[in-house]
Amino acid sequence: MLNFFKGYKVFAIVFGVISVIIIALIYNTLNVYQPLPIYQPAMVSTELVDSTIQYKKKYHKIADFSFTNQNGKTVTQKDYEGKIYVADFFFTTCQTICPIMTKNMEQIQSEILNDDDVMLLSHSVTPEIDTVAQLKRYAIKKGVNDAKWNLVTGNKKDIYAMARKSYLAVKDNGDGGPFDMVHTENFMLIDKKRQIRGFYDGTNKADIEKLLNDIRHLQKETSK
C-alpha cells in the first residue's frame, strides 16, 4: 500500500510539471501580440473632431506644422521625422489639470531620456498668453529637457486646426469665437508614420504606465 502511494506521488508530480508546461505553451500561443490600433476621426468622439473630417475612416495622418518652441526655435514635422512621440495640449496659466499633465509628461520624459527614438510635443491653446518667454519660464520651472520636449506656441488658427483636424484632441468652446478651444487631458501617441496609435488620460497614473508600455510595443512593431 505504501509503495502505491509513493508511486502515485511521483505520478502526481510528473503530471503537474507536464500540465504547467502545456498551459504555458498554450498561453504563449494564444497571447500573440496585437498591434496598436490606428485611430481614424470616425473612431473618436465627434466633439473632439472638426466637422469636415468626423466621418473619415482611413488614411488619417498628422498634418505638416510649423510652430515656435520655448527657445524661439521653429519646430516642424521635420524635427519629429522618424520619431515616435507623445503630444498634448495645455496652457501655462492653467491651474486645474495642466499641472498634473505636465508632471506626468515629465515622468515620461525621464523614462525616454536616453531613447533617441521618442520625443514629446506640447501645444499651447492660449498662444496669445504663452509667448516664447513665458514658455521658457514654464519649461525651466517644470524641468523640460529641450532635446526631448518642445513646448510650442504660434498662430491660434493653426493650433486650433492641428488640435481638431490632426490630433483630434480639443473641444470647441461653443461661444462662437473663432478658433477658441478647450483642451482635454488627452495624451496622444504618434508613430513614425504620423498616425495616432493611442489616446491616454494624462492625469491618470495607470494610463501613463499603459502609454509607456505602448511606446515599447510600438518600437517592437516598427523594428520588424
Determine the topology of domain 41-223 in CATH.
Answer: Glutaredoxin (3.40.30)
> What's the Cα-to-Cα distance from 40 to each of 45, 61, 197, 202, rounded to whole Å?
11, 9, 9, 20
In the annotated binding site for Cu cation, the residues are 94, 98, 183
Within 10 A of 23 (CB to CB), how many other CB atoms are there? Answer: 10
More confident residue, 70 or 9: 70
Q: Give dist(CA 200, CA 189) in Å, integer.
A: 8
Which pLDDT belongs to residue 7? 55
Backbone angles phi, psi at 190, to 5 degrees: -115, 135
Residue predicted with more confidence, 20 or 159: 159
- As a whole number, the mean pLDDT across the chain is 89
Q: Are 66 and 80 in contact (CB under 8 A)?
A: no
CA distance to 39, 44, 78, 148, 193, per residue, from 63 (Å): 15, 17, 11, 21, 11
User: Per mean pLDDT, which range of 36-45, 50-59, 169-178 is the poorest?
Assistant: 169-178
Give residue-wise pLDDT tens across range 46-97.
999 999 999 999 999 999 999 999 999 999 999 999 999 999 999 999 999 9
The C-alpha angle 198, 64, 217, rounded to 5 degrees, equals 25
Q: State the average pLDDT over residues 172-180.
A: 66
User: Does the pLDDT of residue 181 top 90, yes or no?
Assistant: no
pLDDT at 153: 98
Beta-strand pair 186-190/181-183: unpaired
pLDDT digits (tens, 9 = 90+) for 133-171: 999 999 999 999 999 999 999 999 999 999 999 999 998
Please state the residue numbers annotated as binding site: 94, 98, 183
Q: Which residue has the higher pLDDT, 62 or 8?
A: 62
Query: Which burial class, exposed, middle or buried, applies to 180 when counting CB atoms under 10 A from its CB (0-12, 13-18, 19+)?
Result: middle
* Whether pLDDT at 98 is above 50: yes
pLDDT at 28: 45
Residue 29: pLDDT band with limits 50, 70, 90: very low
Reduced 3-state DSSP string for the chain: CHHHHHHHHHHHHHHHHHHHHHHHHHHHHHCCCCCCCCCCHHHCCHHHCCCCCCCCCCCCCCCCCEEECCCCCEEEHHHHCCCEEEEEEECCCCCCCHHHHHHHHHHHHHHHCCCCCEEEEEEECCCCCCCHHHHHHHHHHHCCCCCCEEEEECCHHHHHHHHHHHCCCEEECCCCCCCCEEECCEEEEECCCCCEEEEEECCCHHHHHHHHHHHHHHHHHHHC
pTM: 0.84
Are 79 and 86 spatial neighbours (Cβ–Cβ below 8 Å)? no
pLDDT above 70 for 17: no
